[in-house]
């Protein structure tokens, strides 16, 4: 593990702070970047996410789905938490905390959007970060590959319908155009591109060639992650500084769910 990877958490925190600071100092610059969007999907962020996740998705071997049965207990727990618990529990926690307990402290007209954001967060298992953390902790590669492949396959077909269902249950208008475009840009396209590159490299250069490519692209992937954080927090820098209480209150159901998921998975 490189020095950079060892202290990744520190770089993440620094990028969050830098993003908030830059967003406050140069709001017009970030507003211009934020305006580069289609159906409320930011194209600059989309490109950065491609740069972040495509190198990691190169590790996904859909042929590893055949090994799922070898890790059926762990993968079963993961799928149960990701798709049966996380999205629905976040809807419940968001409703209880934001629409009930904290409602007097939040802008009434914005509560539905906060709950919608929590639902989107909970319904999207991040395969890319699974590979990051698995690599950092020297995880079992075959388990990671089979789990990542299966989760990606499910996410391609299940994310949009599941989010639409949950938003509907929360009486929030479902932005289908944005939702479907997000699935296309953030899930389908990266998966297809990564698999095409993977197949081409393996055909021409074999596993050593793929390993070399992964090593070459690894710094780009982490750099894109950090730049994405700077941008995302820069977009909201002014809002974060203006409404620290709102941010803290929104974090409460997220924190509760983290402990809930961990308790169910490892308890």
Give the integer Cα–Cα distance in Å for 232 and 113: 17
Confidence check: pLDDT of 141 > 70: no
pLDDT (mean) for 71-96: 87
Domain total for the chain? 1
pLDDT in tens, 157-174: 788 888 888 888 766 776
The model carries a pTM of 0.75
pLDDT in tens, 1-50: 567 777 888 999 999 999 999 998 999 999 999 999 887 778 898 888 88
48 part of a folded domain = no
51 part of a folded domain = no
CATH number at residue 143: 1.20.1530.20
Give the integer Cα–Cα distance in Å for 11 and 8: 5
228 part of a folded domain = no
Q: In three state form, how does the secondary structure of 98-149 look?
A: HHHHCHHHCCHHHHHHHHHHHHHHHCCCCHHHHHHHHHHCCCCHHHHHHHHH
10 part of a folded domain = no
Say what the pLDDT of residue 64 is.
Answer: 63
Map residue 37 onto helix, strand or coil: strand
118 part of a folded domain = yes
3 part of a folded domain = no
pLDDT in tens, 203-239: 999 999 998 998 888 888 888 889 999 999 999 888 8
Domain extent for 143 = 57-221+243-266
Confidence check: pLDDT of 127 > 70: no
103 part of a folded domain = yes
């Amino acid at each position: 593990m490189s020095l950079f990877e060892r202290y990744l958490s520190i770089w993440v925190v620094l990028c969050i702070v830098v993003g908030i600071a830059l967003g406050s100092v140069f709001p017009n610059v970030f507003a211009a970047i934020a305006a580069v969007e289609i159906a409320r999907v930011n194209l600059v962020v989309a490109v950065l996410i491609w740069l972040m996740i495509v190198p990691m998705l190169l590790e996904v071997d859909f042929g590893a789905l055949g090994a799922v049965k070898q890790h059926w207990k762990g993968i079963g727990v993961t799928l149960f938490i990701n798709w049966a618990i996380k999205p629905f529990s976040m809807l419940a926690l968001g409703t209880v905390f934001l629409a009930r307990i904290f409602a007097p402290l939040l802008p009434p007209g914005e509560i539905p959007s906060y709950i919608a954001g929590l639902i989107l967060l909970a319904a999207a298992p991040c395969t890319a970060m699974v590979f990051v953390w698995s690599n950092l902790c020297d995880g079992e590669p075959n388990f990671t590959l089979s789990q990542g492949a299966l989760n990606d396959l499910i996410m391609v077909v299940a994310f949009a319908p599941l989010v639409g269902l949950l938003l509907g249950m929360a009486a929030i208008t479902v932005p289908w155009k944005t939702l479907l475009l997000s699935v296309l840009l953030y899930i389908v396209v990266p998966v297809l591109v990564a698999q095409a590159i993977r197949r081409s490299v393996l055909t021409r250069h074999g596993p050593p060639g793929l390993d070399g490519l992964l090593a070459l692209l690894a710094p780009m992937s982490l750099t894109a992650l950090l730049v994405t954080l700077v941008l995302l927090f820069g977009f909201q820098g002014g809002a974060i500084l203006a409404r620290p209480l709102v941010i803290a209150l929104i974090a409460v159901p997220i924190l509760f769910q983290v402990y809930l998921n961990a308790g169910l998975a490892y308890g």
